[in-house]
Structure 1
Amino acid sequence: MSRYRRAYVPGGTYFFTVVTERRQPILTHAEVRLALREAIVLVRETLPFRIDGWVLLPDHLHALWTLPAGDADFSTRWRLIKRHVTRTCGPAYMRRDHLTERRAAKHCGTLWQHRFWEHLIRDDRDFRHHLDYLHGNPLKHGLVERVADWPWSSFHRWVRQGTYSADWAGVGSDGLVVEEPCRAMKWTPPSYGVNAPD
């Protein structure tokens, strides 16, 4: 059996997918959203990172982060974020039927899948592709008919900055998805970690 090896690149920009245990649709609950926001603020105080893109769906989230120069430790950041949310919301969302022997032995909660998926962003085109992907995700999953209608996304920030039009990506009158990926992008980072939107 091969072991998965993560790509740790200091100062890198990464796309992440983090999923709830057994895809429980809880991430958009108010108390979980609040705990997640608190966790991110707390972690960024000691282990800073820039959030380039974000979308929160009921059972998973996608994020684009840029780490500081000389720092490649995204795993600790995610561990601390997930732990804070679990400690804050875990008792209310504990699922005994999801508690395996391994999780019980490690005193793990049942909110999150054990691992997460990451992709190291290679260049500006890759960045734009993943930013479009995460912003279009609520539409892809049938949660909205227009990307702008999903409230838990960095899409609105990028619209305010003029990168996307407010009507980018939606369902047309024929029922097909209308999207113009990348064309709307005005921002090209000279190097990741510099001049990115807040």
Structure 2
Amino acid sequence: MQQYLPSETLAICILPDHFHWVVVLPENDHDFSRRIQNLKINFTKRLPLSLYNPQAGQTGKRESGIWQSKFWEHAIRDERDLYNHIAYTYYNPVKHGYAKSVADWPFSSFHRDVSDGLFPIDWGGAVSEEIKNLYVERP
């Protein structure tokens, strides 16, 4: 996919029915739709069929029954906005009750960012005022 639709993943978190992806596209390229479609297709193809059950109404629409059909995109305005979106991405499994702390959720680039020294391993472990202030509801 990278050779046809290049991008740089700044943050990603995969949840059971949706994902959050903070991505940088090449200059003058705004084709989020094809990248998201390809990510969903390639991810789903690698799952054993026993892990999901495509719903009959969705298969005719080229949907697997795993992912939400729509997506929300947002152009990052500044460094603060970027940090807010990365924080939202990483904290999402805790918000939905899938993990007690950000570090407990394995399906996230958070662990890469910890290894790279960008976040401490206990970031988001307890809901701090900083996270409460950053974590705004998204549609």
Q: Which runs of 5+ in 1 are unaligned?
A: 1-42, 172-176, 182-198
Return the offset for 1:59: 2.1
The structure carrying a bigger strand percent of its residues is 1
Alignment of 1:67-146 (within 5 A): 67-89=25-47, 92=50, 93-95=52-54, 98-100=55-57, 103=58, 105-146=60-101
Whether 2:3 is the aligned partner of 1:53: answer no
Relative distance call for 1:180 and 1:82 in structure 2 (3 A) is same
Cα separation, 1, equivalents of 2:62 and 2:112:
38
* Aligned positions, number: 130
The answer for the alignment partner of 1:40 in structure 2 is none
Relative distance call for 1:46 and 1:159 in structure 2 (3 A) is same
Cα separation, 2, equivalents of 1:87 and 1:133:
27
Relative distance call for 1:167 and 1:66 in structure 2 (3 A) is same
Provide the identity percentage: 42
The structure whose Rg is larger is 1
TM-score (normalised: structure 1): 0.57
TM-score (normalised: structure 2): 0.77
